[in-house]
Amino acid sequence: MNRHVKIPFFFLIPAFLLLAAFVLYPIVNTVYLSFIDQSGNFVKLENYKKVFGTKLYPLINVKNVALGKFPMGALIHNILCMIIHLPLCVFFGLLLAVLLRDVKGGSIMKSVIFLGMVIPLIVGGVLVRFTLDRDAGVLNGILRAIGLGGLVADWTVYPNTALIAVILGSVWIWTGFSMIVYSAGLEGIPIDLYEAAKIDGASRWKTFWRITVPMLKPATIIVVTMTLLWELKIFDIVYIVTNAGPGGASDVMAFRMYIQAFELPPNYGTASAIATMLTIITLGFAAYMVNRMTKS
């Protein structure tokens, strides 16, 4: 009996070794590097102080935050991304899932919308940059067509619009995921509930708020969790669309970590400090949302 119990654990050894080599060791080594300097000396929290105390591209630019102008700092930009990007993705994903549920050709439309998730993020970033281009961009073309040519701008090169441009581009890319999750959630709602509501004389609006929204709570938790993780580690689209510019106006933590490690005179200590903070924040959000998911 003991032999039969132990045998399955031997099959877990290869997976555990891969996990240890490519996940656990990098995490532990990153935390270790965040406490040492370039010479390998233990410097306690100095790298973390440098990250927050630097005058060039700080994580939090207190002065600009108070003035309400960009750049506000990479950490604040990530927070703004969550504040703007998350509600839009949840709203549009749910709206599209409901509208296309019983529409003829809805599956085709969903496939087209989901393309934003399927294509590589590098390609998505190029498409977003092209869409927002001053001369050839679709957005500016629409503004000219409806007589709002005065609003035409190169949205990715001005400090006050660069981050918003990146966020709205991310909405297009991520809404497909939100829509698919909500579509799957809608399929799991018993049709009897809608029939009973119709017999009771409930309006479509009341049916939506009293039946659809509560029954989609598990799907909403999944969408919110995955969207928050995306927003915290967002990098590719920022790198392609704005390169965190102009002047750091669209900088985010993952991009700042990359710059610290590979493009500036390399400082793996400060880059590891940013990576450690980003990991702690991400794991904190993930643990909270998973806890909510299990309770629901």
95 CB burial (10 A radius; 0-12, 13-18, 19+): middle
Q: How far is the C-alpha of 69 from the C-alpha of 65, rounded, in Å?
A: 6
State the CB neighbour count (10 A cutoff) for residue 87.
13
**pLDDT for the residue 2:** 61
Asked if residue 98 is part of any domain, the answer here is: yes
In the predicted structure, residue 1 carries a pLDDT above the cut 60 = no
The predicted-structure confidence for 166-182, as pLDDT tens digits, reads as follows 898 889 888 999 999 99
In the predicted structure, residue 246 carries a pLDDT above the cut 90 = no
Q: What is the DSSP letter of 61?
A: -
Asked if residue 18 is part of any domain, the answer here is: no
Number of domains in the chain: 1
pTM of the model: 0.86
In the predicted structure, residue 189 carries a pLDDT above the cut 70 = yes
Report percent pLDDT > 70 for the chain.
97
Asked if residue 35 is part of any domain, the answer here is: no
Name the phi and psi angles at 241, rounded to 5.
-75, -45
Asked if residue 2 is part of any domain, the answer here is: no
Asked if residue 19 is part of any domain, the answer here is: no
Residue among 154, 158, 159 at smallest CA distance from 71 = 159
Q: Which residues pair with 278 in a beta bridge?
A: none
Q: How far is the C-alpha of 164 from the C-alpha of 142, rounded, in Å?
A: 18
In the predicted structure, residue 8 carries a pLDDT above the cut 80 = no
**pLDDT for the residue 77:** 92
Give the pLDDT band of residue 43 (cuts 50, 70, 90). Answer: confident
Q: The domain spanning residue 67 has which CATH number?
A: 1.10.3720.10
**pLDDT for the residue 181:** 92
283-291: which pairs have CB atoms within 8 A and are 24 or more residues apart? 285/225, 285/228, 285/229, 285/232, 286/225, 286/228, 286/229, 289/221, 289/224, 289/225, 289/228, 290/225
The predicted-structure confidence for 117-148, as pLDDT tens digits, reads as follows 888 888 888 888 888 888 888 888 888 888 88
Asked if residue 20 is part of any domain, the answer here is: no
Output the six-digit token pair for 246.
Answer: 């102009």
Section 90-110 average pLDDT: 87
* Of 8 and 230, the one with more pLDDT: 230
Asked if residue 115 is part of any domain, the answer here is: yes
Q: How far is the C-alpha of 104 from the C-alpha of 116, rounded, in Å?
A: 22
Section 84-92 average pLDDT: 92
Q: How far is the C-alpha of 83 from the C-alpha of 184, rounded, in Å?
A: 25
Q: Is 173 helix (H, G, I), strand (E, B) or coil?
A: helix
Domain of 119 in residue numbering reads as 45-295
**Which residues, at least 6 apart from 171, have a Cβ–Cβ distance to it below 8 Å?**
85, 88, 89, 92
Q: How far is the C-alpha of 252 from the C-alpha of 233, rounded, in Å?
A: 8
* Of 40 and 83, the one with more pLDDT: 83
Asked if residue 211 is part of any domain, the answer here is: yes
Q: How far is CA 277 from CA 44, 61, 164, 189, 228, in A?
A: 15, 17, 24, 40, 15
Q: How far is CA 67 from CA 36, 62, 72, 244, in A?
A: 35, 9, 9, 20
